[in-house]
């Protein structure tokens, strides 16, 4: 039997443990895994692009466990009442090749992206950052806001979205939290006085959500929305004046904000900062950018954490995914046994 965490299981699991606790524990797990970055067998994700979206496989292994995530990105889905992103993940035992864990990852991806954003900000943002502009109030927004409040110390969110319904949803969901929310009139209005700017829009296009004149000295930009070829949110001039940090360089050059720059434009991989091998913020006035596209190691960390919590809480199901014939060489025997049982 294979342990399976479905949507209802992960909702129960997160509600029992607490979202804030899951975010903190996941940030710690991510940090620990980034510190052992060289141990992982890494590759950019495999993407199949269509006119309106993309389907991706994101594999990784630390030579003890192999994991992958299947995920799509279809911004037009919301008009049909569907999720922009839907995903599931798998963990297998490298020694046997057997799958040992399967989980939904639509909800889990939002949690891991928020935890990853906050972890990066711990290393790159000014430590006294208290105000964040949040531009794009879709499925990621609440998780980002809560993660930055809990893990970075953000006390005030200046929020903006072109969709009034998305804005109303965000304000409703964030009532009663330990941070205040102010609705901005525009993206330019949202960034006024912000220490951190998070951009998390969904449209699959090269857009200018953040232009150079909107970015003041010392700001940290958490660029979440640019995550596939032809999809960006930042004006190239913003990138050229900033210190840029990425997950896996070869993947981000294809999918991230830096696809707008020359292939040799300098960037720093975040694991180097976390391990102390590279400098993060060099001065209080430095503009830093976490050009986040999401990487398979982050899903690996999330799956391993959820597997541990599922076993502790009992919020999982056993599914009949791996065959178990009496004689491992007699796979056909499963069919004859089934016939015999039907005739009995």
Q: E strands within 170-316?
A: 180-183, 196-199, 206-210, 220-223, 232-234, 243-246, 268-269, 288-291
Catalytically annotated residue among 9, 227, 291, 299: 227
Please report, to the nearest 10 degrees, the dihedral formed by the alpha carbons of residues 184, 188, 190, 192 taken in order. Answer: -120
Choose among 102, 7, 110: nearest CA to 303.
Answer: 102
Q: Is 227 a catalytic residue?
A: yes
**Residue pointed to by tokens 């900033």:** 242
Residue 244 to residue 278: CA distance in whole angstroms: 12
DSSP alpha helix (H) spans, the chain:
7-17, 19-35, 106-124, 141-151, 164-173, 187-190, 236-240, 249-255, 270-274, 296-313, 333-343
User: Bridge-partner residues for 106, per DSSP?
Assistant: none
Choose among 270, 297, 272: nearest CA to 65.
Answer: 297
Residue 86 to residue 96: CA distance in whole angstroms: 29
DSSP run (H or E) holding 71: strand 65-73
Residue 72's SS3 state is: strand
Tokens of 12: 């129960």
Tokens of 142: 């609440």
Residues with a catalytic annotation lie at: 227
């Amino acid at each position: 039997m294979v342990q399976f965490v479905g949507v209802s299981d992960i909702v129960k699991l997160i509600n029992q443990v607490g979202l804030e606790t899951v975010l903190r524990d996941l940030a710690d797990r991510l940090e620990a895994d980034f510190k052992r970055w060289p141990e992982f067998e890494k590759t950019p994700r495999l993407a199949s692009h269509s006119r309106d979206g993309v389907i991706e496989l994101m594999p990784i292994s630390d030579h003890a466990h192999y994991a992958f995530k299947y995920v799509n990105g279809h911004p037009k889905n919301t008009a049909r009442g569907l999720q922009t992103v839907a995903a599931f993940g798998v963990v297998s035992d490298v020694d046997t090749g057997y799958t040992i864990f399967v989980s939904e990852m639509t909800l889990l991806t939002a949690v891991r992206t928020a935890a990853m954003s906050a972890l990066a900000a711990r290393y790159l943002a000014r430590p006294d950052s208290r105000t964040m502009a949040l531009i794009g109030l879709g499925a990621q927004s609440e998780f980002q806001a809560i993660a930055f409040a809990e893990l970075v110390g953000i006390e005030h969110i200046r929020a903006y979205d072109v969709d009034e319904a998305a804005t109303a949803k965000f304000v409703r969901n964030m009532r009663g939290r330990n941070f205040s929310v102010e609705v901005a009139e525009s993206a330019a209005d949202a960034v006024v006085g912000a220490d951190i700017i998070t951009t998390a829009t969904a449209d699959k296009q090269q857009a200018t959500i953040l232009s150079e004149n909107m970015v003041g000295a010392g700001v940290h930009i958490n660029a979440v929305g640019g995550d596939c070829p032809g999809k960006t949110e930042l004006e190239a001039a913003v990138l050229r004046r900033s210190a840029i940090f990425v997950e896996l360089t070869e993947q981000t050059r294809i999918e991230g904000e830096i696809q707008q720059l020359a292939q040799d434009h300098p960037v720093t991989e975040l694991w180097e900062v976390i391990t102390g091998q590279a400098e993060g913020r060099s001065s209080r006035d430095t503009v830093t950018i976490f050009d986040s596209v999401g990487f398979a190691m982050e899903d690996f960390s999330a799956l391993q954490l959820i597997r541990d919590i599922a076993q502790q809480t009992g919020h999982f199901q056993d599914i009949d995914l791996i065959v178990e014939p009496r004689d491992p060489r007699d796979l056909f025997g499963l069919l004859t046994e089934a016939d015999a049982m039907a005739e009995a």
